[in-house]
Chain A
Amino acid sequence: MMTLLQGNWSLFIGRFHPLLVHLPIGMLIVAFILEVMSKNRRLAVLSAAVLPVLVFGALSAVAACIAGWLLSTSGGYDEDALDLHMWMGIGVAAISVLLCVFRRYALFRNAWLPVSFVMIVLLSAAGHFGGNLTHGEDYLTAALPFGKNRSAEATPAIANLPEAKVYDQLVMPILEEKCYSCHNEAKLKGGLRLDGMDNIKKGGENGPVIKDSVPEASELYKRLVLSESDDKRMPPKGKPQLTPQQLEILYWWIEQGASPTATVKELHRTARMQLVLDGMKPSGGSDANPFVPQEEVSEASGQDVAALEKIGVKVMPVANENGFVMINAVNAPGFGNKEAELLLPLKKQIVWLKLSNTQTGDSALKLISQLPELTRLHLENTPVTDAGLTHLAGCKQLKYLNLVGTKVTDKGILLLQKNAALKELFLYKTAVTPAALGQLRKAMPEMKIDTGGYVMPVLVTDTLVYRKQRT
Chain B
Amino acid sequence: MHMSEKIIHEANERAAKYFSRRHFLQDCITGLGATALGSLLGGCNIFSGSGSGEMPQSLNPLEPRAPHFPARAKSVIYLHMAGAPSQLELFDYKPELQKLHNQLCPPSILEGKKFAFIRGVPKMLGPQAVFSQHGESRAWVSDHLPHFSKMVDDVSFLKAVQTDQFNHGPAQLFMHTGSARLGRPSIGSWVTYGLGSENSNLPGFVVLTSGGKTPDAGKSVWGSGFLPSVYQGVQCRSKGDPVLYITDPEGMDRDMRYQSIHAINEVNKLEYEAFQDPEILSRISQYELAYKMQISVPGVMDINDEPEYIHQLYGTQPGKEAFANNCLLARKLVEKGVRFVQLFDWGWDTHGTGEDLSIDYGLRNKSREIDKPISALLLDLKQRGLLDETLVVWGGEFGRTPMQENRDGKEMPYLGRDHHVEAFTMWMAGAGIRKGGSWGETDEIGFAAVKGKVAVHDIHATILQQMGFDHEKLTYQFQGRPFRLTDVGGHVIHEILG
Contacts and interface: CB of A to CB of B under 8 A. Distances in A.
Interface stretch (B7-15, B20-28, B175-183, B368-376): B368-376
Interface stretch (A60-68, A413-421, A451-459): A451-459
Contacts of B276: none
Nearest to B380: A454
A458 B454 CA distance: 36
Contacts of B492: 284
B67 A320 contact: yes
Contacts of A468: 355, 361, 414
B237 interface: no
Interface bracket on B = 35 or more
A312 B372 CA distance: 37
A465 B385 contact: no
Interface in B344-398: 355, 360-361, 364-365, 368, 372, 375-376, 379-380, 382-385, 388
Nearest to B312: A455
B201 A331 contact: yes
B315 interface: yes
Interface stretch (B45-53, B216-224, B252-260, B282-290): B45-53
Contact of B72 (A289, A402, A461): A289
A461 B146 contact: yes
A102 B150 CA distance: 87
A452 B70 contact: no
B358 to A, nearest CB: 9
A289 B361 contact: no
A281 interface: yes
Which residue of A278, A312, A402, A454 has the most chain B CB atoms within 10 A of its CB atom? Answer: A454
B43 interface: no
Nearest to A455: B313
Q: Is the interface of B mostly helix, strand, loop or mixed?
A: loop
Given A289-B70, A404-B383, A456 B147 contact: yes
Nearest to B137: A275
Contacts, number: 133
B229 interface: no
Interface in B34-93: 47, 50-52, 64-72
Contacts of A454: 313, 379-380, 382-383
A291 interface: yes
B413 to A, nearest CB: 9
A141 interface: no
B198 interface: yes
Nearest to B465: A284
Contacts of B465: 284
Interface in A270-326: 278-289, 291-292, 312, 314, 316-322, 324
Interface of B: 47, 50-52, 64-72, 143, 146-147, 150, 198-201, 309, 312-313, 315, 335-337, 355, 360-361, 364-365, 368, 372, 375-376, 379-380, 382-385, 388, 414, 432, 434, 465-466, 468, 492, 494, 497-498
27 contacts: A282-B498, A283-B72, A283-B432, A284-B72, A284-B432, A284-B466, A285-B69, A317-B66, A319-B71, A321-B50, A322-B70, A330-B336, A331-B200, A378-B385, A380-B384, A400-B385, A402-B384, A404-B385, A424-B388, A426-B385, A428-B385, A452-B382, A452-B383, A454-B382, A462-B315, A465-B365, A466-B364
